[in-house]
């Protein structure tokens, strides 16, 4: 718990952290503790095999929730669909969430990282493709919602499922998943809150990153981004040259033994910060001017000033409270689609409120707008929430008037009509050939025999009631 509250240095600059890995002959927990035959010790190494990644584990739990709620509400009879429909919905939800969330992040929040020139953009086409398809850090929740809606539309156009009632299950699952995703945000020390009163008991400091996800450090009063080198050694030299051209004299390269360089950037972070100085007495948080002289020529990690743990606020608002709200609506809804409307109205409202404590995205910070708002003092998350709320209100109006009554809905997909004859006639069985020489006649006869047996069984299970015999008069 102390590690979570203090948010120690993360091993990676990407927005994720490994919960369990095997390295140095032992088990590494939360990138902090090494458990081996020698006992428990602090771990500050790198490498090894990742066993359990916290961020994607939370996504997995959220997706499992889709199957759980489908099974639960099918068993209760609230949703009348076949068992396989839940798996179809899970597959489409996964595609919609992952692709939609990533796409929105790329084009709305961080396009320069994926399409811009070096030093922040990719070194070449292969590096660009790796960033797009292999680096799944950076996910936008509004994009996830849009992706799910698109997949639902395509599914409806193809198969005409009862999308409103299926969407109700999806909305409940999404609210459940939001709890875990916000927990992952907190454990990864990302998306933290705005400055808080240092006297606030739960105020926390978080590691500082630039808008491109790189750790920010200070050396001799100057800010640097700790930029990772390309993974392909053949790209490193060209990449270093592009850095030097973009910022002559602003690149500190420690040699091939180090997988990173320091890149001087005065705009790397425009908010208040402190330095995390580790001493024998433990970690101390100091202002830049208070760093002891003997440490002036070293570089030190930046941490934020005390901040609101807005990830936990959003966990409660967008997760727990919203989850309870949509369950409450489900118990009282008589028409399909009302839970969807409740989610698309309740989520943006909760997000809009939570954004007042959350630090806006650093990508939108600039001199004169250090906070990073985008319009009328509102953050990008609040602007997108207003758009989403309009969609939710339109759903509310539509489904309250034209949504199907849940109690009157039939099972989907419907049963095939009983007694329909289906036999495997093969190509070439027609024509003028004699019946005994038809190709596939053996299979046809076997299928007919099986169908006759099925009809006999049905007749035995549902015997035709006997008609009353006509009364006869005896002869006098």
113 and 211 in a single domain? The answer is no
Among residues 305, 339, 358, the one where a domain terminates is: 305
CB 91 within 8 A of CB 99: no
Which residue in 328, 343, 54, 310 sits closest to 173, CA to CA?
343
Cβ neighbours, 10 Å, residue 122: 21
Cβ neighbours, 10 Å, residue 137: 17
- Residue 384, in any domain of the structure: yes
- Containing domain of residue 93, as a range? 54-193+309-408
Which residue in 83, 61, 62, 88 sits closest to 73, CA to CA?
83
Q: How confident is the model at residue 473, as a pLDDT?
A: 47
Cα–Cα distance measured from residue 280 to residue 284, given in angstroms and rounded to the nearest whole number: 10
CB 337 within 8 A of CB 220: no
- Residue 419, in any domain of the structure: no
Cα–Cα distance measured from residue 208 to residue 196, given in angstroms and rounded to the nearest whole number: 16
Whole-number Cα distances in Å, 133 to 49, 56, 114, 129: 21, 15, 11, 6
Encoded tokens for 173: 């699952």
187 and 315 in a single domain? The answer is yes
- Residue 18, in any domain of the structure: no
Residue spans of beta strands (DSSP E) within 129-254? 215-219, 222-228, 251-253
Cα–Cα distance measured from residue 76 to residue 69, given in angstroms and rounded to the nearest whole number: 10
The continuous run of DSSP H or E covering 302 comes out as strand 299-304
Cα–Cα distance measured from residue 30 to residue 10, given in angstroms and rounded to the nearest whole number: 9
188 and 73 in a single domain? The answer is yes
Among residues 305, 327, 353, the one where a domain terminates is: 305
Encoded tokens for 197: 């009163």
Q: How confident is the model at residue 434, as a pLDDT?
A: 47
Q: How confident is the model at residue 11, as a pLDDT?
A: 36
Whole-number Cα distances in Å, 249 to 120, 177, 243: 17, 47, 9
Looking at the structure of the chain, the number of domains it has is 2
DSSP string, 370-400: TT---BTTB-HHHHHHHHHHHHHHHHHHHHH
CB 252 within 8 A of CB 262: yes
DSSP string, 140-154: -HHHHHHHHHHHHHH
182 and 213 in a single domain? The answer is no
180 and 90 in a single domain? The answer is yes
167 and 313 in a single domain? The answer is yes
Encoded tokens for 350: 């909760």
Cα–Cα distance measured from residue 49 to residue 34, given in angstroms and rounded to the nearest whole number: 13
319 and 346 in a single domain? The answer is yes
Residues in the chain: 476
CB 182 within 8 A of CB 318: yes
Encoded tokens for 29: 């927990």
Query: Please, what's the b/e burial string for 154-193 (b: 16 or more CB within 10 A of its CB; e: otherwise)?
Result: ebeeeeebbbbbbbbbbbbbbbbbbbbbbbbbbbbbbbbb
CB 176 within 8 A of CB 345: no
- Residue 382, in any domain of the structure: yes
Q: State yes or no: cis peptide before 368, omega within 30 of 0.
A: no
- The pTM (predicted TM-score) of the whole model is 0.75
122 and 180 in a single domain? The answer is yes
> Would you give the DSSP letter of residue 467?
P
Which residues, in sequence order, are bridge partners of residue 50? 21
- Residue 438, in any domain of the structure: no
The continuous run of DSSP H or E covering 278 comes out as strand 273-279
- The H helix count followed by the E strand count for the chain is 13, 12
Q: pLDDT by residue for the chain (476 residues), tens digit each?
A: 233 333 333 334 345 678 888 887 899 888 788 998 888 988 877 677 878 888 778 888 999 999 999 999 999 989 999 999 999 999 999 999 989 999 998 998 888 888 988 777 887 888 788 888 876 667 888 898 899 989 999 999 999 999 999 999 999 999 999 999 999 888 888 889 999 998 899 999 888 888 777 888 887 778 888 887 877 788 888 888 888 888 888 888 888 778 888 888 777 777 788 887 766 666 677 776 666 655 554 677 788 889 999 999 999 999 999 999 999 999 999 999 999 999 999 999 999 999 999 988 777 777 777 777 888 889 888 999 999 999 999 999 999 999 999 999 999 998 765 555 555 555 444 444 444 445 567 777 777 778 777 777 776 666 655 555 555 444 44
Which residue in 88, 96, 119 sits closest to 412, CA to CA?
88
Cα–Cα distance measured from residue 9 to residue 32, given in angstroms and rounded to the nearest whole number: 9
The continuous run of DSSP H or E covering 304 comes out as strand 299-304
- Residue 241, in any domain of the structure: yes
76 and 160 in a single domain? The answer is yes
180 and 108 in a single domain? The answer is yes
DSSP string, 8-61: ---S-SSS--EEEEEETTEEEETTTEEEETTEEEE-----SEEEEEHHHHHHHH
- Residue 131, in any domain of the structure: yes
CB 18 within 8 A of CB 38: no
Compute, in degrees rounded to 10, the torsion defined by CA atoms 240, 246, 252, 254.
-10
Among residues 367, 393, 408, the one where a domain terminates is: 408
- Residue 315, in any domain of the structure: yes
188 and 65 in a single domain? The answer is yes
160 and 220 in a single domain? The answer is no
Which residue in 178, 173, 141 sits closest to 315, CA to CA?
178
């Amino acid at each position: 718990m102390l590690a979570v509250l203090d948010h120690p240095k993360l091993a990676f600059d990407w927005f994720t952290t490994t919960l369990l890995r095997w390295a140095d002959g032992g088990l590494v927990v939360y990138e902090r503790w090494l458990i081996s035959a020698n006992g428990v010790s602090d771990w500050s190494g790198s490498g090894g095999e990742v066993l359990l990644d916290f961020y994607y584990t939370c996504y997995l739990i959220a997706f499992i929730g889709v199957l759980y709620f489908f099974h639960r509400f099918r068993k209760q009879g609230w949703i009348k669909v076949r068992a396989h429909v839940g798996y179809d919905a899970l597959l489409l939800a996964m595609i919609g969430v992952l692709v939609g969330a990533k796409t929105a992040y790329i084009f709305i929040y961080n396009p320069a990282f994926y399409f811009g020139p070096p030093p922040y953009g990719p070194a070449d086409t292969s590096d660009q493709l790796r960033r797009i398809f292999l680096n799944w850090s950076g996910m936008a929740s509004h994009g996830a919602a849009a992706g799910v809606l698109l997949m639902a539309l395509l599914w409806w156009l193809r198969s005409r499922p009862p999308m409103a009632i299926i969407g109700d299950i999806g909305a409940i699952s999404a609210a459940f998943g939001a709890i875990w995703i916000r927990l992952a945000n907190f454990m990864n020390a990302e998306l933290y809150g705005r400055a808080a009163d240092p006297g606030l008991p739960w105020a926390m400091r978080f590691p500082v990153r630039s808008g491109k996800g790189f750790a920010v450090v200070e050396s001799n009063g100057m800010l640097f981004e700790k930029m990772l080198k390309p993974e392909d050694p053949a790209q490193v030299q060209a990449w270093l040259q592009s850095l030097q051209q973009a910022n002559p004299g602003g690149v500190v390269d420690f040699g091939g033994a180090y997988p990173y360089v320091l890149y001087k950037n005065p705009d790397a972070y425009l908010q208040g910060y402190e330095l995390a100085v580790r001493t024998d007495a433990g970690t101390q948080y100091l202002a830049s001017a208070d760093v002891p002289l003997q440490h002036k020529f070293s570089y030190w990690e930046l941490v934020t000033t005390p901040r609101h743990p807005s990830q936990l606020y959003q966990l409660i608002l967008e997760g727990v409270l919203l989850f309870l709200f949509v369950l409450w609506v489900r118990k009282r809804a008589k028409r399909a689609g009302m839970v969807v409307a409740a989610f698309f109205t309740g989520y943006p409202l909760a997000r809009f409120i939570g954004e007042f404590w959350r630090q806006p995205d650093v990508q939108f910070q600039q001199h004169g707008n250090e906070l990073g708002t985008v319009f009328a003092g509102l953050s990008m998350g609040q602007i997108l929430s207003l758009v989403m709320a309009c969609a939710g209100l339109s759903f509310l109006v539509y489904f309250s008037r034209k949504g199907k009554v849940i109690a009157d809905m039939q099972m989907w997909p419907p049963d095939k009509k009983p007694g329909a004859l289906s036999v495997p006639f093969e190509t070439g069985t027609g024509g003028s050939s004699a019946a005994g020489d038809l190709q596939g006649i053996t299979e046809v006869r076997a299928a007919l025999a099986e169908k006759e047996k099925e009809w006999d069984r049905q007749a035995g299970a549902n015997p035709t009631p006997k008609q009353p015999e006509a009364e006869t008069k005896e002869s006098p």
